[in-house]
Amino acid sequence: MALRGTTALFASAALVLSGCGGSSTPGGGGGGPTPTPTPTPPSAGGLFTSPALEFLTTADVQQVLAQAVGEANRRGQPSWIAVTDRVGNVLATFRMTGAPDLTRVSTRTIGGNAAPGSEIGLQGAMIPASAAAIAKAITGAYLSSSGNAFSSRTASMIVQEHFPPAPTTVGLESGPLFGVQFSQLPCSDLNARFLPGGGAGALIGPKRSPLGLAADPGGFPLYKNGVVVGGVGVMGDGDYGFDANVLDTDMDAEEAIALAGTIGFTPPEDIRADRIFVDGTSLRFSDATPAQLGPLVTAFATVSPALGSLQPVAGYSDGTLRPGTAYGTEASGLRAATPAEFSNRDAFVLTDGSGNPRYPIRGGTDGASVAQPLTAAEVRAVMEEAFAVLSRARAQIRRPLDSRMQASVSVVDTHGAVLGLVRSPDGPVFGVDVSLQKARTATFFSNPAAAAQLQAAGGAVSPYVQRLRTFLGDPAALTGTVAFADRSGGNLARPYFPDGEVSRPPGPLSVQNTAQFSPFAVGLQSDLIGGNVVQHVTFIANGGAGADTPVGCGTVPDVVAGQKRLANGIQIFPGSVPIYRGGQLVGGIGVSGDGIDQDDMVSFLGLHNAGLRVGGIGNAAPGIRADRIVVDLGDGREVRLRYVSCPFAPFLDTAAQNVCQGL
């Protein structure tokens, strides 16, 4: 099987979106390793409740598959169906007889549809249908929690150029998670990879997604007893796209097939996306309804081998069906921290499956670049203070109302090395990789070496430096003179500047011909890692022949051997700030998992409080923050970049307002 247009895709370097038998023991599998016991969690009495240790059994996975295959057969839509657990382990990939092995990426753009020969990124490309199904399943699992249930249709709504996306909303700002589709990348140095044959750490997550997070309807989370335990994704109609109009109701066969798979594993109704509002707009969960489904087929023996069979997918599954691992166990790779690992009794950490934290708190590794790197004590203070702010904050995307915010927190040094990563117990899993992307992005763009590194990347990447300098009227841009938060870089990465104003040209970090923009090619963010994704989907399509994408995204040069500053890509929605010691950049903090203003507040206020606690470090001085930059629009108007935006009255334990003002 060969990918169409591979050479052109490498040249454009852009990304598609995103994402039998065995033991029923959590973390187990037929012939798999015996998981290391989970350490005893800290004593009770914290502010959060950890999710119950639920998981998908072999019988559960078979039921999900049977129900989905039965509905697909009834509709005459042969499809690929993928099932994952909460941390991204692929539990099954089923190909129905007659299901296409390739699917076409949508050519829809802001300008209508890309004409043949004018596509950029992966617009119009043929990609493995199995990869698309896996990406959809991972999207449903990773975006959801015990407080919110999001689908790939929800993802579609929050990543487009206007929010909500519809013909009547042109002129509104972009989606709140604009750019999140370019997370969980197959080249990420954080996300784990499938280990054929099992072995120690085989089930740890979060696992990577072949295509990032998906915006194509047909991906849902799976729940047991109110706890998210995985996701199901379906690909069969030959079109991997997104929903550009939330005002109508789609009759989407893939979504109905995936919905059938969720019966018996549906989320509580009160936490579905359509019960959650962002800026006064209800999110979307599903256009398909149970009333549209036929009689359920629940016996796996009824559909296999009569209607298809389990199939291997290079890099993700060996073609067998396995149970999931319970999130929160050592085997899952995410569990409660011990007191020695992190002081807060509510914190979770990432582990290697054998009892060892993957990212223990440590000091900076960048002594060759920084006069006085961050110390382990300073990193601990930043993380503890950020977690304290998080623990008091009111959630935006969780039910019931007035729930506590849940998210992940990452700290890095100026080389992009991870100095610590913690999370609250039930934060959505997508926030792990995204918090690290955010921390690295703010640190990179504030770094004196940023321009030189982007120019050295070559190809489609290097021209962005001059575009930015011309746009800002600053020939020294990206040389460390300005502190950029992710909100600042996001301002410059939208297809219109100011965001949403369709009469305006694109931001300098966006696709330069706005009419060509789509969620499959957004500019610098996708150009940085496009080659990795193309190499990876070619590896899948060829059944594992040839080289997979290496660990570590992009062509930005290593800062030291084996270490890239942007090893899991960049992120362009808010939730991070750089860390300074006096006037020198020493690192960054990123937060992800809840509302973008909440993420901003935890990073900014957590760092401020850590500076008060230990002295010597803190936020960038106001005089060098990106919000001092005023862009001349050329018609008598000026627009100031943003740095952070904190919620007006964010805390559950106090009525304090404007908590970031004046800091």
The CA-CA-CA angle for residues 50, 54, 58, to 5°, reads 160
Delimit the domains of the chain by residue range.
53-299+308-328, 333-446+482-493+572-640
Q: Determine the pLDDT at residue 415.
A: 98
**Can you give the three-state secondary structure of 473-541, one letter per residue?**
CCCCCCCCCCECCHHHHHHHCCCCCCCCCCCCCCCCCECCCHHHCECCECEHHHHCCHHHHHHHHHHHH
Using DSSP, how many helices (H) and how many strands (E) does the chain show? 14, 20
Contact 599, 592 (CB under 8 A): yes
**Closest among 628, 637, 311, 405 to 504, alpha carbons compared:** 637
Contact 590, 440 (CB under 8 A): yes
Q: Determine the pLDDT at residue 25.
A: 32
Burial class (CB in 10 A: 0-12, 13-18, 19+), 478: buried
Asked if the domains 53-299+308-328 and 333-446+482-493+572-640 are classified in one and the same CATH topology, the answer is yes
CATH fold of 333-446+482-493+572-640, please? Beta-Lactamase (3.30.450)
Span 418-434, pLDDT tens digits: 999 999 999 999 999 99
User: Residue written as tokens 């926030």?
Assistant: 431
Which is it for the CA torsion 221, 224, 226, 230, positive or negative? negative
* Distance separating alpha carbons of residues 60 and 176, to the nearest angstrom: 34
Q: Determine the pLDDT at residue 45.
A: 53
CATH of 53-299+308-328, one of 3.30.360.10, 3.40.50.300, 1.20.80.30, 3.30.450.150: 3.30.450.150
Burial class (CB in 10 A: 0-12, 13-18, 19+), 198: middle
Contact 515, 610 (CB under 8 A): no
* Distance separating alpha carbons of residues 52 and 250, to the nearest angstrom: 35
* Distance separating alpha carbons of residues 119 and 517, to the nearest angstrom: 10
User: Residue written as tokens 């500076």?
Assistant: 611
Contact 339, 399 (CB under 8 A): no
Contact 185, 533 (CB under 8 A): yes
φ, ψ dihedrals at 577, nearest 5°: -145, 150
User: Residue written as tokens 């305006």?
Assistant: 504
φ, ψ dihedrals at 387, nearest 5°: -65, -35
Taking the chain (663 residues) in consecutive chunks of 10 residues, what is each chunk's mean pLDDT? 36 32 32 37 67 97 98 98 98 98 95 91 90 98 98 98 95 96 98 87 95 98 98 97 95 97 98 95 97 97 98 97 97 96 95 96 98 98 98 96 96 98 98 98 98 97 98 97 98 96 95 94 95 96 96 96 96 98 97 97 98 98 97 92 96 94 92
* Distance separating alpha carbons of residues 428 and 146, to the nearest angstrom: 9
Q: Determine the pLDDT at residue 125.
A: 85
